[in-house]
Structure 1
Amino acid sequence: MKTSILTISLAFLAIAAESEAKVRPASLITDNMVLPQNSNARIYGIADPGAEITVIPSWNNKTYSTSTDRTGEWSLAIETPAGGFTPYSITISDGEPLTVNNVLIGEVWLASGQSNMQMPLKGFPGCCTLGGYDEIASSGDEAGNVRFFTVPLTQSYTPLDTVASSWTVPSPETAPEYSALAWHFAKRMSDVLNVPVGIVSAAYGGAKVESWTPRDMLEKYPDISLDPKDIEPMVHYHRPMLMYNAMFNPIKNYTYNGII
C-alpha cells in the first residue's frame, strides 16, 4: 500500500512539474487582449531556461522565434497589421502550444494616476459618476470595440513580474470596475479612429509621484527613506516605490501607443 501511495505521489509530482514547464506568457498576454496596430508589438513571458520559443499570429501565420535566457525569460516582437475588428489568435509554444484567443488590433493606452483616473463607472461609496450606471447597462454594445485590463490595488517592497488580472470584454458584469475617465476616452477614440481600443488601467487614489518611482531613482534623494520601518507608518497611498513594484513593473514592457 505504501508503495502504491508513493508511486501515485511521484506520478502526481511529475505531472505537476510537466504542467509548470509549460510556457507562461506575461500577465498582459491573455485572451481578449489588444495589440497596437502597424507596430512591432512585444510578446514575452517565461519558460524553462534554454527553451526554444515560437510565436505564430493568425493574421499572417509567420513564425517568430527566440530562446529563453538563463533565468527563463523570453521576449520577441511581432509585426501587427492595420487595426480592425476581426478577432485573431496567437499560438505560443516551447514544444507544448498555448493559444491566446479573441485578440484585437488597434490602439493600446495606459491609464494611470490618482482617484480621478481610478474612479470606476460604478463610482466610489457616496460619490457617483454622472451617467455611470447607464454606461454600465449599455456597456455590452462596446464588446467589439473596447477592452480593459485593470491592475488591482497592490503594493510590494520588491519588483513583481506578474499581476493578478486579465483582459476583459465590456459587459454589465465587468464594466462597473472600469475607470470612468478611461472608458469615455476609449469609446471616443474607437469612434473617431474606427479601430478597437485597449486600456491598461493602473491607478491608485491619492498616490504620490514617489509611489510610482523605482528604487534606483528614489535612492538619489536623501530626504526619502526606503526603510520599511519608515514606510509602514505612512498612509498607504503615500508610500514610495510600492505601487511601482507591484502595479507598474509587471506591465511596463507591454507595447503602448500612449499614456493618459
Structure 2
Amino acid sequence: MEARVAAVLILLVSVHSSDGEVHFASYYGDNMVLQKSPERAVLWGYGPDGAQVSVSLSGPTAQKNSLITVINGTWLVTLDPVEAGGPYNVKAATANSEATLTNVLFGDVWLCGGQSNMYFQMSKIFNSSWEMAQAVNYPHVRPFMVALRKSKAELTDLIQVALPWSVPTARGISQFSAVCWLFGRYMYETLKYPIGVVESCWGGTPVEAWSSTRALQQCGLEQNDSPVIKNSVLWNSMIHPLLKMTIKGALWYQGESNADYHQDKYNCSFPAMIDDWRMAFHQGSGGQTAQDFPFGFVQLSTYKKYSTSDEFPNIRWHQTADQGFVPNSRMPKTFMAVAMDLPDDTYDAIHPRDKQDVAYRLSLGARAVAYGEKDVAFLGPFPSHIQSSPLYVNVTYDQTVTVTPSVGIFEVCCSENKTMCGPDFHWVAVSILDWSSNTVQLLTSVCSLNEEVVALRYAWRDWPCDFKACPIYSSSGILPAPPFIIQRDSAAGDIWESS
C-alpha cells in the first residue's frame, strides 16, 4: 500500500512538472472563489525546478507581479488582501509557459466535511426541483467537490477532483452537498458577496478517518483496533491537501458512524479534530486562515423511531464536549444546528430530506459566531437553573421559551442512593405540569417513597419528537431546545446548576 501511495505522489508531481510547464495545484480553477480581505489568499502550483514564476492578478483591483522560484517542483505565493468582488484573472507564468485562471471571485470560502448527511445531495432533498432551479440566481455562490479517495500517507495535493469550481446550474449542483450549497446560498443572501463552498465528505465514515494521528493521540486513539476502519486515511487524502487554502470557516455533519465505534471517546475525538484542523489550516496557509476559525456542526438528527438505545443521545451530548451547548469553554468559536426535531420516516430514516432547516440554522450560527451579528438568535433554550421539591422540578431556561405540553420527553432519575445515578437508578418519564415565559414545571411524584430525583434529562432518545414538534423552542419557534442530562449536586440541596 505504501508503494502505491508513493507512486501516486510521484505521479501527482510528475504530471505537473515533467513537461516543463507551470501549473496551478488541483483545487484552483476557472470560476473559483478565493478568500477575501482581511485574509490573504494563497496560490501554489508546479513548475520546473529553478524557474522563476511571475504571478499577477488583473481585474477590478490589479496587483503587482510576484516573482517566485520553483523549489522541488512547486511554487507558492500569498496575494495582497483583496476586497470581495470580481471577476479577476490570475496568471502564473514562466519564461516558457503560463497558466491562467479566469472569472475568479473573492469572497468567503467555507469547507464542508463529514459523512453521508453532509454528502446528501441536492437532488434528494424536499422540493429538490425548485431548489436546484434557484441555482442560476446565485452565480456568486461557487461549488467545488473533492473526489472520494483514501491514502495511508499525508498528500500534498488532491488525488482527484469530483466537481471543479463552477458557476452553479441546476444540473451542476444536483449531486452537490445540500447542506453545503444551501448554507452558501443563505450566507450570500445575508452578506451580498461571493461565497465559495468546498465539499470534502464521505458517507459511513467515523471521525477517526478525518483526524490526523496527532489529533488521535490526544484521545488515545492512535492505535487502530478495527480491521475495517482505517485511521486518518481521509485526513491524508481529502483534508491535508487543502491546508494551503485560505478559508473563512468549516462546517461538519458527522457522528452516526461513531454511535457504535469509540462512542465514549467522541467527547474527546471531535473537539480534538477541530483543534487540530484549526492549527493545521493556520500553519498550512502561512497564518492566513485564522487559528481559531469558526467551526459549525450539525447535532445528529434521528435514526430508529422506537429505539431505546442511548447511542444517538450520547453522541449528541458528546458533540458538545458533554456540556449540551456551544460555544463553550472546551469548544470556543463553534456553533451548532440542532436537528433532532427534523425526522423523516417516509424516506430513509437516517437521512432526513429537510436539509433547508439544517442549513438555515447553521447560517444563524455563522452570522452570530463567524460574522459577529449581535441581534441574531442562534442558540436554542438551555437550562440556567433547576430547583426541585418532592413533587416537582422547575427548569428555568436562559431565554424566553415556547412550550407545548408533552409527556415523556422529560425524564427523571429515581435513585435510592439519593446523591447520584448509580446501579440502582431508573429513568421515569414525567409530565409538564405548568410553564411561564422561561420556566417549565415538571411533576415528579413518580419516584417511590424511598427514592429521590437525582438527575434530569431532556429528549434523551434516538427519535425524541415528531417533525418540528418538540415541546421546547425559542420564543420565535424556530430553534429547538437541545437535549441535556444534568445531575443534581447533592451539596446544593434542592438547587441544581447546569454545567
Aligned to 1:243: 234
Tell me if the contact between 1:132 and 1:180 (Cα under 8 Å) persists in the aligned partners: no
Structure 1, gaps ≥5 residues long: 1-15, 124-128
- For the 8 Å contact 2:16–2:23, the answer to whether it is kept is no
Matching of residues 25-104 of structure 1 within 5 Å = 25-38=24-37, 39-58=39-58, 59-69=61-71, 71-84=72-85, 86-95=86-95, 96-104=97-105
Q: Secondary structure at the match of 1:250?
A: helix
Structure 2 Cα separation of the partners of residues 254 and 53 of structure 1: 19
Query: Separation in 2 of the partners of 1:87 and 1:73?
Result: 26
Partner SS for 2:185: helix
Query: Any idea what SS the aligned residue of 1:249 has?
Result: helix
1:257 is displaced (CA, Å) by 0.8
Deviation at 1:61, TM superposition (A): 3.8
1:193 to 191, 198, 201: 191
Q: Distance in 2 between matches of 1:220 and 1:104?
A: 38
Q: Given that residues 27 and 250 in structure 1 are in contact (C-alpha distance below 8 angstroms), is that contact kept between their aligned partners in structure 2?
A: no
Q: Whole-Å Cα distance in 1 between the matches of residues 194 and 113 of structure 2?
A: 20
2:165 maps to which of 164, 167, 170? 167
**Equivalent-residue separation in structure 2 for 1:65 and 1:213 (angstroms):** 35
Code of the aligned partner of 1:55: V
Answer yes or no: is the 8 Å Cα contact 2:149–2:160 preserved in 1.
no
How far apart are the structure 2 equivalents of 1:203 and 1:247? Answer: 8
Matches within 5 A, 1:218-237: 218=216, 224-225=222-223, 233-234=227-228
Does residue 120 in structure 1 map to residue 121 in structure 2? yes
Give 1:138 deviation, angstroms: 2.8
CA contact (8 A) 2:16 2:46 kept: no
SS in 1 for 2:174: helix
Q: Which residue in the other structure is 2:200 paired with? A: 202
SS in 2 for 1:170: coil
Contact 1:35-1:105 within 8 A present in 2 as well:
yes
TM-score norm. by structure 2 comes to 0.43
Give 1:243's aligned amino acid.
L
Match of 1:10 in 2: none
User: Is residue 154 of structure 1 aligned with residue 143 of structure 2?
Assistant: no
Distance 1:222 1:40 in 2: 36
The CA RMSD measured in Å over matched residues stands at 2.3
Taking the aligned partners of 2:216 and 2:16, their CA distance within structure 1 comes to 39
Q: 1:44 to 1:223 in 2, by over 3 A?
A: closer
Do the aligned residues in 2 keep the contact of 1:80 with 1:105 (CA within 8 Å)?
Answer: no
Larger RCO, structures 1/2 (Cα 8 Å, 6+ apart): 1
SS of alignment partner, residue 20 of structure 1: coil
For 1:19 and 1:243, the matched residues in 2 are separated by: 28
The separation in 2 between residues aligned to 1:254 and 1:34, in whole angstroms, is 11
Local SS of the residue matching 1:253: coil
Amino acid paired to 1:51 = A
Between the aligned partners of 1:19 and 1:149, the Cα distance in structure 2 is 27
For normalisation by structure 1, the TM-score amounts to 0.81
- Unpaired stretches in structure 2, ≥5 consecutive residues: 1-14, 252-499
Residue 133 of structure 1: how far off its partner (Å): 2.3
- SS of equivalent residue, structure 2 residue 242: coil
Aligned to 2:473: none
Measured against aligned partners, the alpha-carbon deviations of 1:196-234 in whole angstroms (never above 9, x if no partner) come to 1001111122322210122455467765446xxx76x41
1:135 alignment counterpart: 131
CA-CA distance at 1:182 after TM superposition: 1.1
Quick one: which of 232, 248, 260 aligns to 1:257? Answer: 248
Rounded Cα–Cα distance in structure 1 between residues aligned with 2:16 and 2:31:
28
Match of 1:21 in 2: 20
Separation (CA, whole Å) in 2 of partners of 1:253 and 1:218: 22
Distance 1:225 1:76, change over 3 A: same
